[in-house]
Each structure stands twice: as C-alpha cells, then as structure tokens.
Amino acid sequence: MTKIDKTDLENIKLIIKESKIDNVTKIKIKKKDYEIEISSSNFDEKNTSIHKVDRNIEVSEVENTNEIINEENIVKSPMVGVAYLSADPNSQPYVKVGQHVKAGDTLLLIEAMKTFNEIKAPRSGIIKKIVALNSQPVEYGDTLIIFE
Amino acid sequence: MFKKILIANRGEIALRVLRACRELGIKTVAIHSDVDENAMHVRMADESICVGPASAQSSYLNIPAIITAATLTDVDAIHPGYGFLSENQRFAEIIEEHNIKFIGPRSEHIKMMGNKIDAKKIMDDSGVPTVKGINDLSNKAKIDEFINKVKYPIIVKAASGGGGKGMRIVTENDDLDKAIKEAKIEAKKSFNDENVYLEKFLTSPKHIEIQVLCDSFGNVVTLGERDCSIQRKHQKLIEESPSSILTNDNRDKISKLCRKAMKEIQYEGVGTLEFLYENDAFYFMEMNTRLQVEHPVTEMVTGIDLVKEQILVANGEKLTIKQEDIKLKGSSIECRINAEHPESFIPSPGKITQYHQPGGLGIRVDSAVYDGYSIPSNYDSMIGKLITYGATRSEALKKMNRALEEYVIMGINTNIQLHQKIIQTDEFKRGNYNINFMSNLIE
C-alpha cells in the first residue's frame, strides 16, 4: 500500500483553494491513475469535485519523497552559477543516465563569475539521475547528479 | 565640455569613471542589469537605466539597449570602461553613427589592434621590437626554415585570440602539425577565426606594459611602465610601477618607440602596449585600446588622473602634459581582490556580511562593494583593487602588507590570503619574478 505523502496534501489544499469548496465531508485518494476525490456538503453527489492529476508528473515526486538517497551518491554544487550539461550547445552532453563514469570524469560545467568550472565525478559509478538542467541556475549545495 | 556621460559598465570601474566625471562637472548615467539594481555605481549616478536581465549578454553587452538608454537620456558621450564592449569595434562605430562620442580610440584603431597579426605588423613597421614569428603557415619549407632559425620552443597563437585560447606551446618532442590543427579548431570555436601563427616562445619573460595617452592633435605621451608578471591563467593578479628591474635607459628607449608608433597610426585616447621582457629585450605582444584595470599604479607614480585625461582628449582638448613633465616618483603596487577561494580558486559570490577597508597614507581602494552587498555570480570575480604608494618599493610593499592585514571582507571567500603569501616571498620582494611565478607558487 502506498502512503499519503506531502504532494497529496498539497494537491488537496490546491483543489480546495482553487474550486472554493467549503464544508468538506469526505476526501478520497486513489493511487492507481492517481485520483483525488473531495466531497462537500454544499454539493450534491453529482457535483462532487473530482480532479485527475497527470500521474506521470506525480510519480517522480512521490519517488523523491519516499526514497532516501545516500548522501555519498549525491554530487552537490560547490558554487552558485549556471549549469551546463555539455561543453557547448552543439556538443553531446558530458554524461547520460545509465552511463558508467570514472572518478575525475567531467560531469557538467558550472559558469560562475565568467569562469567555467568543471564538476568532476567524486568516484566511479553509474549515473542514476541528472538533476541539474541545462543553462539553468544552480545554488550552492543544490543536487546536480545522483549516482546509483 | 560634455554635459552628460553614460557609463556602459559596472563595478569599480563604473565608479572610477563616475568620480572623474563628477570632478569635471559632468552628469552621469549608469546602466545596470536587474540584479545590479542596488549596485554602488547605480546608487551614485545622477540617472540610471536598467538595460536587461542578469546575463551580461542581455545587459552590459546588449548594444541596442545601451544605445537606446543613451538616446533616451540624451548623453553626449559613452565611456565603455574595460571589458564588456570596450574593445568592440562595432559598438564604437554605432555610437559614432548616433553622433555620440565614444570615449576611446576611433573604431578603426580598435579593429587594427584587435587582430594580433595586423597589430604586430604595424609595430614591426614602426620599429617596435616584436617576437620573431611566421604568419603564413601554408608553406612547410618556410616553417622549417623559421624553426631552424629561432629554435624550439615555439608557440602557436590565434590571430583573434585572447585569454590563452587557441594557444599551443610546442617543444622539439611535440608534433607541430598536430598542435597547429588543434589550435585552429579551438580558435575557430572561440573566436570564429581559424587563423593561427607561430612565434618563438620565450620561456621566462616578464610582462611589462607601457601606458600611452594621445590627443587628436597628434600629441603623444608615455607614462612609464607597469610590471604585470604576477598572473594566473593569463589573468593579472598584482601589478606595479615602476618595474624594479628596468633601467632608465631601457625605459626611455622603449617609451620613445611606443610614442613613434602611436604618432604614425594617429592613435587617440589612452592605450597600453603590452610586451614580454627577457634578457633586457622587449617583444611587443598586443595593444589594448582602452583603459586598463591596473591604471591606478601609473596614476600613483605620475600624479596624473588618467580617466580625466581620457575624457578631456575625447572632448577634443589638447594635451596640457608635456613628456618632459612626466616623472615617475616613488613606487606603487596593486593587488586585485577577487571573490574566490585563495587555494582552490572556486568563485565565491554571495553576501558580504562584514566589510572594512584599509586606509591611511598611501592606501587607495578602488571598489564598488559595501557592507551587506550581494556579489552576483553573473560577472567577473574581481571585486576591488587595493593600491599602495610609497616613496620606495620597500615602503609600498610594507604598506601593502599592512593594508592586506587590515582588509576585512566576511561572508565570502577572497584571495587576500593568497596576496599575503605572494608578497611575502623572497622572489616578489626582490622584484625579479617572471610570468611563471604563479604556476611555481601553486605547484
């Protein structure tokens, strides 16, 4: 059985706020095909507000909150700047998900104060997830890459 | 006289220009990006205009936005500072087309000196010594002949290069053809110009540069030299004037040649001719057609305000300074204070939580930061310059030591400790250091 998580609570709050329903009498969460059903005494059975949320988007968030990632597998940003996944816009990205990298391999670049700083793999391993987005700002301590 | 000047820059140099304008009774317009809204140059200007978002490309390099700002505020002139658009020939041209004065040389001179091969040829023609080199790489026999004459090591350089890109040092054991090929690819990528040339590589030279100041009537003066050999990755860290190893005779000779070359090309404004100096001989490298970061050390030893002079000659005034009046008096050193870790060199933008700058006789701080200021990550890491002046080099050095100790910048990393380490080495104290100093120190 899947647990209720933060995302569910946030979605419920959002639905209540957006649809301006009050006197909530019943809340139902269905996890397969992700469904939230909210009933209110002000509505009759036919008007029950049902919001379907795209499951594909929600899956990753549910995963994030439920799974604890070992700190050692996370590559964090040593500086604030802009992340680049490839050497230049026309090149292939430095790494792909599922790729095996050696310690010292360049994972991505962070541009800060006019300098391009190579972020190197702290250890050998397989890339599980690339969290940093190309040409998007990252802050100090932000997760860039997760190893398996 | 100009009534109003737009300063197309940020940070300490925008402030430096603003101060000169204020003393000349000229109103100032600051431009800024949205993250620079609270920057000191904006706070101190008479007017300010936001020209774009944080990225330099969309703000401080955004020519249409800057021209629009200049038109809206009805300025007579634009000062480009250094970096950004200061050596952009097209920018200077567009400004001229809008009947606004570009405070710098004519666009043709920016173009002339922008190409290193052309610049070298011009200097060669004027009798300024250059490094022996070969530009035409199509004839293999000629290349071999050149190498036989000058011997290895040699260096491959990009014609439009800068910042170490498109450069390869080649020794006897290396593959020259491969080095040329690689340099071409890198040059094409970085400067969209694959032209490269070969030069004799000097192994342990000093970097010495000569400051020039020229008006539109053909008057040219030189203001001595700056020794900028303390560099890391082609970025200068410490500069001083005069150089402790240059004889008066050598200085006079090279200065005279620089004046002759400037007269011949009818240069206008301030400029710097950069040389390598090895075994008592100068070799021209390139000319910067703008104000330099390290101009204060020259100001300290000559007593001449270079920015004011630059504005005056741009306004069409005749130089009042005569060459014989220019005497280098005392000694001045400048340390560039960067927001970066003193050992790892990782950039360190962020909020300054405590700030105290040194003071006292012979101490000058050119900086635009203040207590509580947040240094954005979008621009250069140099946040200020600490300049000291003494009657002798040893006095200027003692003052630098004391001032670095006194300088408090909390909340971010700075290279203050690195400067302390550098100036306490025997090599720096003796003054006979060369451009390999930093790589030797770090290793």
Q: What is the pLDDT of residues B121-134, one digit of tens each?
A: 999 999 999 999 99
The shortest C-alpha distance from A105 to chain B (Å) reads 18
Looking at the fold, whether B270 and B317 belong to one and the same domain comes out as yes
Mean residue pLDDT across chain A: 79
Q: With bands split at pLDDT 50, 70 and 90, how would you rate the model's confidence at B433?
A: very high
A81: which chain B residues are within 8 Å (Cβ-Cβ)? Answer: 347, 349, 377
- Domain map of chain A by residue range? 6-66, 71-147
* Catalytic residue, candidates B16, B106, B251, B290: B290
**Same-domain check for residues B174 and B80:** no
- The token duo for B386 is 């600490």
From chain A, pick out residues whose CB is under 8 angstroms from the CB of B379.
113-114
- Interchain pair A112, B339: CB under 8 A: no
CB–CB contact B349 A117 (8 Å): no
Q: Cα B109 to the chain's mean position, in Å? A: 17
User: Tell me, what's the pLDDT at B174?
Assistant: 81
Residue A137 near residue A82, CB atoms below 8 Å: yes
**Of B429, B425, B431, B430, whose CA–CA distance to B441 is shortest?**
B425
Give dist(CA B188, CA B166) in Å, integer.
8
Last residue of a domain, one of B148, B179, B200: B200
- How many domains does chain B contain in total? 3
The residue of chain A nearest to residue B83, with distances taken between CA atoms, is A114
Residues B403 and B289 in one domain: yes
pLDDT tens track for B128-168: 999 999 988 988 899 999 999 999 999 999 888 766 778 88
pLDDT at A108: 95
A81–B350 CB contact, under 8 Å = no
The whole-number pLDDT of residue A4 equals: 67
Structure confidence at residue A89 as a pLDDT band (50, 70, 90): confident
**A7 inside 8 A of chain B by CB:** no
Residue keyed to tokens 């005497």 = B327
Return the closest-CA partner of residue A5 out of A74, A64, A89, A84.
A64
Nearest to B346 among A79, A82, A88 (CB): A79
- The secondary structure element, H or E, covering residue B406 is helix B393-406
Quote the domain boundaries for residue B146.
132-200
- Cβ distance B411 to B432 under 8 Å? no
Helix (H) or strand (E) holding B200: strand B196-200
Same domain? B77 vs B56: yes
Q: Where are the alpha helices (DSSP H) in B227-378?
A: 248-265, 295-302, 306-314
- Summarize the confidence of residues B408-427 as an average pLDDT: 98
Domain co-membership, B399 together with B437: yes
Nearest to A117 among B189, B346, B378 (CB): B346
The pLDDT of B241-253, averaged and rounded, is 96
What is the number of other CB atoms lying within 10 angstroms of the CB of residue B189? 14
Asked, for residue B273, whether it belongs to a domain, the answer is: yes
The residue type found at B195 is: N
Residue B380 to residue A78, Cβ atoms within 8 A: no
The number of beta carbons lying within 10 Å of the beta carbon of residue B172 is: 10
What are B354-361's contacts with CB under 8 Å, separation 24+? Answer: B354/B408, B354/B409, B354/B410, B354/B411, B355/B408, B355/B409, B355/B410, B356/B406, B356/B407, B356/B408, B357/B384, B357/B407, B358/B386, B358/B402, B358/B403, B358/B404, B358/B406, B358/B407, B359/B406, B360/B399, B360/B402, B360/B403
Query: Are residues B160 and B99 both part of a single domain?
Result: no
Contact A117 B347 (CB under 8 A): yes
Q: Hey, is the C-beta of A17 within 8 angstroms of any chain B C-beta?
A: no
Q: Does A77 touch chain B (CB under 8 A)?
A: no
| Co-location of B195 and B210 in the same domain | no
CA distance A134 to A87: 11
Which ipTM value was assigned to this complex? 0.70
Give the mean model confidence (pLDDT) for residues B424-438: 96
Residue B441 phi/psi, 5-degree rounding, is -70, -40
How far is B8 from chain A, CA to nearest CA, in Å? 18
The verdict on B309 and B432 lying in the same domain is yes
Chains A & B: contacts with CB separation below 8 Å: 34
Question: How distant, in Å, are the alpha carbons of A83, A139, A140, B14 from that of A136?
Answer: 6, 10, 13, 28
Reply yes or no on whether the pLDDT at A65 is more than 70. Answer: no
Q: Which of A49-58, A60-69, B21-30, B77-86 has the lowest mean pLDDT?
A: A49-58
Residue with tokens 């992700």: A34
User: Residue B107: helix, strand or coil by DSSP?
Assistant: helix
Measured in angstroms, the CA of A96 and the nearest CA of chain B are apart by: 24
Q: Of the candidates B2, B178, B142, which has an alpha carbon nearest to the alpha carbon of residue B79?
A: B2
Check CB contact under 8 Å for B346 and A113.
no
The token pair that represents B123 in the structure block? 């200097």
Does any domain span residue B123? Answer: no
Query: What integer is the mean pLDDT of B259-273?
Result: 97
Rounded Cα gap, residues B283 and B276, in angstroms: 5
Q: Which CATH architecture has domain A71-147?
A: Beta Barrel (2.40)
Residue B23 falls inside a structural domain: yes
- Residue closest to B240 by CA, chosen among B199, B197, B296: B296
Quick one: B350 and B414 in the same domain? Answer: yes
| Structural domain contains residue B74 | yes
Length of chain B (residues): 443
Place of tokens 């011009």: B122
Does some domain include residue B113? no
Confidence of residue B193 (pLDDT cuts 50, 70, 90): confident
Pair of tokens at residue B197: 């040339």
In angstroms, rounded to a whole number, what is the distance separating the alpha carbons of residues B285 and B143? 21
Domain-embedded: residue B117: no
B416 shares a domain with B278: yes
Distance from CA of B417 to the nearest CA of A (A): 20
Chain A residue with CA closest to B376: the answer is A113
Q: What is the mean pLDDT of residues B326-341?
A: 97
Q: Is the pLDDT of residue A29 over 90?
A: no
Are A79 and B377 within 8 A, CB to CB? yes
B290 is a catalytic site residue: yes
Q: Running DSSP on this structure, what letter comes out for residue A91?
A: S
Are the beta carbons of B377 and A78 separated by less than 8 Å? no
